A and B are shown apart, each in its own frame.
Chain A
Amino acid sequence: MKTVATYLAAATLAALPAPALAEAGDVEKGEKLFQQCKGCHQIGAGATNRSGPHLNGLFGRKAAGLDDFRYSKSFQRAGVGGLEWHAETLDTFLENPRAMTSGTRMSFRGVKKAEDRTHLIAFLRQFSDDPANIPEADPTAQGIDHDLDPAILALVGDPEYGAYLSGECTTCHQAAGSDDGIPSITLWPEDQFVVAMHAYKSKKRNHPVMQMIAGRLGDEEIAALAAYFKDLEN
């Protein structure tokens, strides 16, 4: 297995020096590409942590560097091992996230085209300057778009019931939070979990297994699962 250190060494050998990598990209194209990240990561003024950490001030941040986000053990180890986010480390990470941090909960296969990564990095770079200069950008993601009844979002779930119901999830989604081909669902913000499950239930999200599983869960059950998974840390 390649270690973070190997990747860091490989990254320093990359053809483009760091500033060039960040500047070579097209910010507007990067903004479009960022659409696929918005479900989990907020960026821009007022951005907060969601399933993933917010990405303001990312450049120069140590891996697992935010105090108020619960990172996977893989990321914590990478941070202790000295991984810091710069254009070249981001480039390596974004190409194949799980190659760099095998136990990440980030359910994302990576950006295969080097050019696209350059655009994304250029976009991200904008939000790492002086906080006062962070643009009021549209990508201040508000989570996933939804028209869910606020009463459903306001339901308080019973985590004990959620623990029982979670047995139906953990046949595929690992309780330890690892993603080996099926997305991680641990430590999600409750509202995001509820929105996602209702999107499957109403068949707005496409996946036959998830549509079937969510399809027969009641509002209370979804709330219970959300209440359980939000704190599940192994």
Chain B
Amino acid sequence: MTLNRRTFLGTSAIAAATLAAPMVRAQGKPRVVVIGGGAGGATAARYIAKDSKGSIDVTLIEPTRTYYTCFFSNLYLGGFKKIDDIGHSYGGLAAGGVNVVHDWAVDVDREAKTVTLAGGANLPYDKLILSPGIDFVEGAVEGWDLSAQNAMPHAYKAGSQTELLRAQLAAMPEGGTFAMVAPPNPYRCPPGPYERVSMVAHYLKNNNPTAKIIVADPKPKFSKMALFQEGWNNHYAGMVDWIGDDFGGGNVSVDPAAMTVTIDGEETSVDVCNVIPAMKAGRIAEIAGVTDGNWAPVNAADMSTKADPDVYVLGDASQQGDMPKSGFSANSQAKVCANAVRGALTGSKVFPAKFSNTCWSLIDTNDGVKVGATYEATEEKISKVDGFISQTGENADVRKATYEESEGWYAGITADMFGAKA
């Protein structure tokens, strides 16, 4: 093929990328590829692009064009938010200098330092940041696999699954049963299943007050347990039956065809069944070969993996120490990582790692609670420094202020991830 200007412009993106690669490298403009556009990946991509002022080439790989945040998706189930309220586009990142590619990353070659996309393109990188969130452990709940996710939704990756669960909730017969199979530790958003129970109860109280909720839980206790149980008693007396590990909550199987749940040998017919299986790092982390068991071990100082100093893992997929798997944590880790990656590639100043997290949960209208902590990097792990939690018996004004604060946080973190709305 004769390479003139016309044919060059006409070549496919893949060929263009291959041709351009050595040239760009020769110019020395470093490349960062980020896989996953959630709280970790979007934040890291935005901060590196923003703070490097064009001196680093940042590409974000994210299959969805509209990202639905998992945080606040329970509030959609409860009717406090519309689905559009939790959906975000990537236009702000693109405007901020990030090359946003809507495609799946299907392979990582750490020797060649390239990422392969489902569309066929090969993207070279100097630093690779993986923020793929979670996938489910196969066979974690007997009788359930991904092919059953329409009959028994997990709704633990927000979007169509969340809408499906809401539709099933709305279609429940009068006095029906909503079952949840809660996950074992560690999992995304520790208070998430229990906020969801609260939001489902809120919906049922107003629309189907004789309905029941059963929770089969493999854990003996859970995040903000005293606060949730107090709230369930105050707002939804008699509606929620939580079956913890002590009462066989971990011995559970489901039959999606028959719509039954069997807890510790006792079979119950249910109308809706929300199965939240055990979790592991998003699959691409495993494909990249940076996982050990279900998660990817990382160094606390910069979120680089133990397996490869040029590959970083953020958020839920990482095994970092004391931080809970939350959007707030991923966002916090992303900023530490962005600072370190920029320093490694451009020689900018690298400051010591500092992490923090706060998780707000809504129990009922204007009844918000929160838990939070600060963390530091040690040789061994991300280590907790200090923390707080809402108290039981707080007055209504405090709880209302906490809920309003959570709304402010939502606006803040989504602006921090995706850029401020124009």
| A residues whose Cβ falls under 8 Å from a Cβ of B | 160-161, 163-165, 167-168, 170-176, 178-182, 208-209, 211-213, 215-216, 234
With contacts A164-B339, A181-B405 known, is A212 near B412, CB below 8 A?
no
Q: Interface with A: B104-112, B137-145, B284-292, B327-335, which one?
A: B327-335
For residue A171, which residues in chain B have a CB less than 8 angstroms away from its CB?
Answer: 328, 331-332, 356, 409, 412-413, 416
A182 near B405: Cβ-Cβ < 8 Å: yes
Which residue of the partner chain, among B339, B354, B411, contacts A180 with CB atoms under 8 Å?
Answer: B411
Q: List 25 A-B contacts (CB under 8 A).
A: A161-B351, A163-B51, A164-B349, A164-B351, A165-B354, A167-B336, A168-B354, A170-B416, A171-B356, A171-B413, A172-B358, A172-B412, A174-B411, A174-B420, A178-B411, A180-B407, A181-B404, A182-B412, A209-B388, A212-B356, A212-B372, A212-B387, A212-B388, A216-B385, A216-B386
In the complex, whether B116 has a CB less than 8 A from a CB of chain A is no
In the complex, whether B269 has a CB less than 8 A from a CB of chain A is no
B370 near A181: Cβ-Cβ < 8 Å: no
A212 to B405, CA, bound (A): 16
B408 near A234: Cβ-Cβ < 8 Å: no
A180 to B386, CA, bound (A): 27
Chain B: minimal CB distance from A80 (Å): 18
Chain B: minimal CB distance from A57 (Å): 33
For residue B372, which residues in chain A have a CB less than 8 angstroms away from its CB?
Answer: 208-209, 212
With contacts A165-B354, A172-B412 known, is A181 near B349, CB below 8 A?
no
Name the prevailing secondary structure of the B interface residues.
helix
Q: Render B353-387 as a binary contact track against A, CB cut-off 8 A, 1 for contact.
A: 01010100000000000101110000000000111
Which residue of the partner chain, among A165, A180, A182, contacts B351 with CB atoms under 8 Å?
Answer: A165
With contacts A175-B420, A212-B388 known, is A160 near B409, CB below 8 A?
no
A213 to B407, CA, bound (A): 19
| B residues whose Cβ falls under 8 Å from a Cβ of A | 47, 51, 328, 331-332, 335-336, 339, 349, 351, 354, 356, 358, 370, 372-374, 385-388, 404-409, 411-413, 415-416, 420
A216 to B376, CA, bound (A): 10
Chain A: minimal CB distance from B324 (Å): 14
For residue A167, which residues in chain B have a CB less than 8 angstroms away from its CB?
Answer: 47, 332, 335-336, 339
* CB-nearest residue of chain B to A181: B408
With A167-B339, A212-B387 known, 5 other A-B pairs at CB within 8 A are A168-B354, A172-B409, A174-B415, A178-B411, A181-B405
For residue B416, which residues in chain A have a CB less than 8 angstroms away from its CB?
Answer: 170-171, 174-175
Chain B: minimal CB distance from A205 (Å): 14
